[in-house]
Structure 1
Amino acid sequence: MKFADGLDGMLPYLQIGQAFEAIVDWTTEHMDPFFDGISSLVSSLVDPLVELLTAPPAIVVVLIFAALGWWLRGWKFGIGTAVGLGIVAGMPYWEQTMSTLALVLVASGLSLLMAVPLGILVAENSRVSALARPVLDLMQTLPAFVYLIPAIFYFGVGAVPGVLATVVFSMPPGVRLTELGLRQIDREVIEAGEAFGASPWAILLRTKLPLALPTIMQGVNQVIMLALSMVVIAGMVGAGGLGEVIMTALARVQVGRGFEGGIAVVILAVVLDRLTDSIGARTKSAKAQRALQAS
């Protein structure tokens, strides 16, 4: 038996890394078709979206986002969005920015597709909540770079491992805020639905989820922000986009190139953050209006 250094060598060496490697080797050997299917699915989502965002001229995409910002948040934000994305379009990294946006949208969508149902399950079942809490803590505290190691092992390099590592990294806030939104609902509202004979599914779909939607939208916002930060890191494994621009600048010590890539990331983050925040504010306002009408 091996012993670790320290305390006179009396502590046994726990071969956690070897155990994890054995698990990865076994899954690679026996579940290769499964991973190929996942890779094909992610590629089929990312590639068309990249083509869709890069096909029209940059000015068209800028105007679309500006109009969306104007509609959701007002004319000031619409003009600010046009100016910010116009700056990005003026730099030679527009295609990389749209590629990053595509990766963020796909990763966020897949993450929320799993996070919201899991958050509902955690909120409705105390035992599942007790089991999920330490797992979510581990997922949130594990360094972001660690997620890239198994992703590279299973899927090689490219956009697919970057997206899947981003999905795992960004999912915990979606689960936690979905659970929080459902647990904050007044018990009297649920009891009123039960008194009218509504089924548990009807109460969940027609009462709980609409009331929890503003908090769930906060989770959507956090998922998108984490996905954007992780997608940049995923440039290390060939995911492309602005992450590749920044990593290349870092490797070659190109200060100007790195600054331009960072500015593009910041502008994209601000636009996505304000847009999703505005959607959450609108759902909260609609919720308040329904409550006022009911009273």
Structure 2
Amino acid sequence: LLTSRRMLLGAGGIAVAVLVYLSHTYVWAAEFPGDGNVGRGIASAADTTTAWLQDHLSGLTNAFRDTITHGLLNPFQALLTDSPWWLVGVVLVALGAAIGGWRAGATAAVCVGLLVGTGLWSDGMTTLASTVVATVLVMLLGVVFGVWMGRSPLVDRLVRPSLDAAQVMPPFVYLVPFLALFGATRFTAIVAAVVYAAPVAIKIIADGVRHVPATTVEAATSAGCDTWQIITKVQLPMARGALTLATNQGLIYVLSMVVVGGLVGAGALGYDVVAGFSQGQLYGKGLAAGLAIVLLGVMFDRITQAAARRTSG
């Protein structure tokens, strides 16, 4: 077997050397086939589709955007930014201690103190509001599709390749279609973050549901439980460790899109970082905003990781 591999590697090396020689010696070997019409056709089709969506679905997309923004995002953001900073800080520390234990609470206290020290508390709370809303949407998608994939091997085989492809796609790619549909707003950044973070949460929850012992599911079925009861009273409770881990990863993935979202109207810390590297006089503020994003990430990572250990322990 080792000899065969060496022979294949040797043959591949010789083939590469011959192709390099041909491409540097003969013009016909270096010419690219075709004239690029396929690429232009794809671009033209994309432009046509985008224009059709903007003309025919703008009312629906704008209504959806305004519903989430005014019904969920704005009230939650106002609660965080308009409340006394010390009260919000105490609540964050208390939640950290209640969910993840005293160590997570101590980490939250340190992160809150440093966040206050950056002088970007209001921007931090605005980013926090968008992050929490996006994470809630990620978990809703994760539970729905994760349970579906976990209960159906066929659905898992069909959907998982698309999720794998979405995970390796550059983040900026997500912004292009959503900018066309929703414009440059905070909601666009949230939707892009949701689409970026949802695949990993869906796969974690699907794996958690799938690893629930089949005997337990059979026992619940024999006891007369219907599908909804099996999902809500057996599979999801027994997969609570996967749910907590999915929340952890969803938060981290959403936070990783904060700076990218700052390019399309997300504002707050993401915009501060973008302004910092684009304008020399705002470099210090951009650096402080980057530190604030790291503090938010560390705080929520420690809290959710501690919660995952407690639920699986």
> Using the alignment, how far apart are the partners of 2:107 and 2:283 within structure 1?
26
Aligned residue number for residue 62 of structure 2: 36
Identity %: 31
Match of 2:112 among 65, 69, 85: 85
Aligned residue number for residue 38 of structure 2: 13
Query: How far did 1:38 drift?
Result: 1.2
> Using the alignment, how far apart are the partners of 1:138 and 1:282 within structure 2?
32
Q: Secondary structure at the match of 2:38?
A: coil
> Using the alignment, how far apart are the partners of 2:141 and 2:98 within structure 1?
29
Q: Note the residue ranges of structure 1 that are not aligned, 5 or more in a row.
A: 286-295
Give CA deviations for 1:218-262 in whole Å, capped at 9, x if unaligned: 111111111111122100112111001100001013442222111
Query: How far did 1:151 drift?
Result: 1.6
Q: For 1:123-138, list aligned pairs within 5 A.
A: 123-138=150-165
Aligned residue number for residue 278 of structure 1: 306
- Cα contact 1:169–1:227 (8 A) shared by 2: yes
Q: Secondary structure at the match of 2:257?
A: helix
Q: For 1:127-276, list aligned pairs within 5 A.
A: 127-253=154-280, 254-276=282-304
Q: Secondary structure at the match of 1:197?
A: coil
Give CA deviations for 1:51-108 in whole Å, capped at 9, x if unaligned: 1001122122112112222333343442332222112112221111000000101111
Q: Secondary structure at the match of 1:13?
A: helix
Distance verdict in 2 for CA 1:243–1:156, change over 3 Å:
same
Paired letter, 1:146: V
> Using the alignment, how far apart are the partners of 2:164 and 2:43 within structure 1?
20
1:103 aligns with 2:142: no
Match of 1:65 among 92, 97, 100: 92
Distance verdict in 2 for CA 1:182–1:96, change over 3 Å:
same
> Using the alignment, how far apart are the partners of 1:96 and 1:6 within structure 2?
53
Paired letter, 2:152: N
Query: How far did 1:12 drift?
Result: 6.4
User: How many residues were matched structurally?
Assistant: 281
Aligned residue number for residue 4 of structure 2: none
Aligned residue number for residue 54 of structure 1: 81
> Using the alignment, how far apart are the partners of 1:156 and 1:194 within structure 2?
48
Query: How far did 1:170 drift?
Result: 1.0
Paired letter, 1:274: R
> Using the alignment, how far apart are the partners of 1:8 and 1:217 within structure 2?
51
Q: What TM-score comes out, normalization by structure 2 length?
A: 0.83
- Higher mean alpha-carbon deviation, 75-84 vs 21-30, is at 75-84
CA RMSD of aligned residues (A): 2.0
Paired letter, 2:124: T
Query: How far did 1:197 drift?
Result: 3.2
Paired letter, 1:29: D
Distance verdict in 2 for CA 1:210–1:77, change over 3 Å:
closer
> Using the alignment, how far apart are the partners of 1:218 and 1:229 within structure 2?
17
Q: Secondary structure at the match of 2:263?
A: helix
Considering only CA atoms, is the larger Rg found in Structure 1 or Structure 2? 2
Q: What TM-score comes out, normalization by structure 1 length?
A: 0.88
> Using the alignment, how far apart are the partners of 1:284 and 1:231 within structure 2?
30
- Higher mean alpha-carbon deviation, 262-271 vs 110-119, is at 110-119
